[in-house]
Amino acid sequence: MAARSLPFFVKRKYECHTDLGGNMADVYLARDTKADRPVVVKLLRAADASNPQVRDRFIQEARLACKCSHPNIITTYETDEEDGLPYIAMEYLEGEALKSTMERGGLETQADAVSIALQVAQALDYVHKVGIIHRDIKPANVHIDAERRAKLIDFGIARVKESQLTQAGQAIGTPRYMSPEQVMGKEVTPAADVYSFGVMLFEMLTFEAPYRASTAEELWMAILHGEPNLEPLRAVQAPDSLVQLIARCLAKDPAQRPPFREVATALQDLLSGQSAPAPAPQAPPPREPAPQAKALKASVIAGAVLVVVLAAVRFGGFIDPAAPPPDDRAVVTPADLPATLTLPSGDMVLVPEGPALLGANNQSVPVEGFYIDKTEVSNRAYALFCDQTGHPKPPGFAEADPDAPVVNVTYADAKAFAEWAGKRLPASQEWEKAARGPDGQPFPWGAEMDYSRAHVPRTPRDRLKLAAVESMPEGVSPYGALHMVGNVWEWVDAPVEPDDSQFNHLREELPGLSPPLTRTEAYYQIRGGDMRLYLPDEAAAGRVNDFGVMAARVPQPSIGFRCARGARQTVLQ
């Protein structure tokens, strides 16, 4: 459908007169001319309607929404197509999103917050009973009207339990509210909604998040391994029963989280006064108020005035950039460093601080401690990055093995992934130390070439395909890194000026490149060799202590990357 001037009709029934914006769908305020009532019409854009995955997800949203009939869920009247474009006609809601209510200090009492949470819990109990998992519970997806009635909205990434639209390995949701199983891209159950609800209720009561983090990586680590800090709940004198309910909602193990039927009953008991208030704690040290701060007044639940302020928190992203450093963070010493970091963007292994024998002459070089990815970045991890950031996927990505290393990425692509993951690309000396160890051994596994330990051709006639990043553990480096010889070349953060031989070789290898290579553009080292590079035994060591050169803008089917990060970075305790 071509762009139309307002007003225009959909199905000769809905007169669309006001553009409300939208993302992949155009959203309009309209009048239902037959029922004579205001409605909202979501019309999938033509460019997205041609994408089968996007189209299927939009249609699924419409079907799921039409399936729901509950006073605390937005009513969807109809779904159909107009000129081949799917649309949804739904209830027009007056009021504002819970997110906006919170940001302007509109939750003035604990009773108000718990009442709204109870309505959401009742809606989610209904949603789960009809077989739907919402998967994106957050303040932006709860609407509040003037009578303080809450309505659950936006089923855009919800799914029916048996749906195959989203497979395991895809992390779907808003990072701040994602459960551990969502962060890891595992199959989710209704318990994932319980976790997200727990985060939201925590924020409604305290205007703080249960975890404090300054990078995406730290947020993930906290969700996966950290314990929520419940002190802000006690500081606002939330009843013990409410604190414990939220703690159960935030349990790492989905099986330990209560179903929404139980959550709703507990919240109803609190509102009816069946749960005794907790004794008033000692007042916490005074906090510096944020701009436009507003005190949240205690209700009949706690029976006392709360000493807490509302900071201007931005919900829905990884971090609050204006937030002060959390008190429970500290710079760690080398003795405190874990040998392995388990992260959704890829596990990392520690390379301790100390000298290493590097280069063809085994020169002793001091190298600060750092972590390096255990494997090359996989297609699975890169898909998570692209899905959450909108970064374009490389050519051939849809057909690629999720467990194989991502390839056809430029240096800039690799750097963007690293920044998203709270990491960076390794320096040349870091990469080499991680591959050879401190003693300068020629190969990750020892002194002799062993073709059974590296994904490389044994003869010039061999033609290999990419191997899974976790394969060939027998070729592990002294620090636990895999595939540091063969499989794919890896970008490293080492600018280099190609000599005449290297430059001429690249121009011969890339004859159709447009624009052609120039001597003045950026070039970087690539390390480790790939699955197509045959070298006789006596030259094989060159893959570890030597490097190739590639123009930063040129993606290749034989070049991937892995990431690093400094070991002395401030980390979440």
Q: How far apart are alpha carbons 187 and 361 in whole angstroms?
A: 50
**pLDDT tens, position by position, 373-391:** 999 999 999 999 998 889 9
Residue of 67 and 261 predicted with greater confidence: 261
Of 26, 112, 125, 136, catalytic = 136
Report pLDDT for 536. 61
- Judge whether 198 and 211 are in contact, CB under 8 Å: no
347/341 Cα distance (integer angstroms): 6
Tell me the average pLDDT across 127-135: 87
Report, as an integer, the average pLDDT of 16-39. Answer: 87
Q: Looking at the predicted structure, is the pLDDT value of residue 202 above 90? A: yes
Q: What is the pLDDT of residue 290?
A: 32
Q: What are the φ/ψ torsions at residue 487 (nearest 5 degrees)?
A: 70, -75
Both tokens assigned to 249: 């909602």
State yes or no: is 136 an active-site residue.
Answer: yes
Mean pLDDT (whole number) for 267-276: 76
How far apart CA 413 and CA 411 sit, in angstroms, is 5
**CATH code at 8-91:** 3.30.200.20
Would you say domain 334-571 falls under CATH 3.40.50.300? no
C-alpha distance from residue 564 to each of 326, 438, 444, 530 (Å): 24, 17, 18, 20
Confidence of residue 479 (pLDDT cuts 50, 70, 90): very high
Question: What is the share, in percent, of the chain residues with pLDDT greater than 90?
Answer: 44
Q: What is the pTM of this model?
A: 0.51
Bigger pLDDT: 57 or 69?
69
| pLDDT, greater one: 95 or 312 | 95
Q: Which residue has the higher pLDDT, 68 or 373?
A: 373
3-state secondary structure at position 453: helix
198: which 2 tokens?
A: 């727990």
Q: How far apart are CA 194 and CA 239, in angstroms?
A: 20
Residue spans of the domains in the chain: they are 8-91, 96-271, 334-571
Q: Inform me whether the pLDDT recorded for 79 exceeds 90.
A: no
Second CATH level (architecture) for the domain 96-271: Orthogonal Bundle (1.10)
What pLDDT, on the 0 to 100 scale, is given for residue 135? 84
**What pLDDT score does 534 carry?**
66
Tell me the one-letter amino acid at 276: A
Q: What's the mean pLDDT when you consider all of the chain?
A: 80
pLDDT at 470: 95
Task: Output b/e per residue, 506-522; b: 16+ Cβ within 10 A.
Answer: beeeeeeeeeebeeeee
